[in-house]
């Protein structure tokens, strides 16, 4: 059974910022002749690794809104300063989802697929609406 992860994206002010940062990381790796991989390193390895890797994604919360997901490709053990960590290897595509508010939390959490918001369909009105406008309309209860 598939399970997802949910994580706060600390730093970016918007999904566009996250996308730009990830694209810069990939460009830097290519320029340095490194394998272009997106990774998020975390202290703990998910104990439900098989379920996470069975079609799971990481859902990103940015500035209090759950707004996108990325496919989880691999969980890779890494050492930082001699301490075991886990690299969450991510797919390159950021998929926008129907936004909804989400309270802050630390670390990552398991995220049941039944609780996950649907993807925004390419070419839909939702896809074309600016992020700021969509959030303002949602705050007014119009979305």
Across the range 105-133, mean pLDDT stands at: 80
Across the range 46-74, mean pLDDT stands at: 94
Q: Which of 136, 102, 99, 139 is nearest to 120 (CA)?
A: 99
Number of domains comprising the chain: 1
Note the pTM of the prediction, 2 decimals: 0.84
Q: Is the pLDDT of residue 66 over 70?
A: yes
For 93, the token pair is 């595509």
For 139, half-sphere exposure in the C-beta direction (CA atoms, 13 angstrom radius) is 8
The whole domain housing 133 covers 4-139
Q: Write out the DSSP string of 42-87.
A: ESS--TTHHHHTTT-EEEEEETTEEEEEEEEEEEEEEEETTEEEEE
Q: Are 117 and 97 in contact (CB under 8 A)?
A: yes
């Amino acid at each position: 059974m598939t399970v997802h992860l949910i994580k706060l994206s600390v730093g970016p002010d918007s999904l566009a910022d996250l996308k730009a940062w990830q694209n810069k990381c990939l460009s830097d790796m290519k320029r340095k002749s490194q394998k272009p991989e997106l990774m998020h390193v975390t202290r703990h390895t998910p104990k439900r690794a098989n379920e996470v890797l069975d079609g799971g994604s990481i859902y990103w919360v940015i500035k209090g809104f759950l707004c996108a997901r990325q496919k989880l490709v691999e969980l890779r053990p890494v050492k930082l300063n001699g301490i075991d960590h886990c690299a969450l290897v991510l797919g390159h595509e950021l998929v926008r989802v129907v936004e909804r508010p989400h309270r802050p939390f630390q670390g990552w959490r398991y995220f049941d697929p039944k609780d996950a918001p649907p993807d925004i369909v390419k070419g839909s009105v939702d896809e074309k609406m600016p992020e700021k406008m969509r959030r303002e309309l949602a705050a007014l209860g119009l979305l």
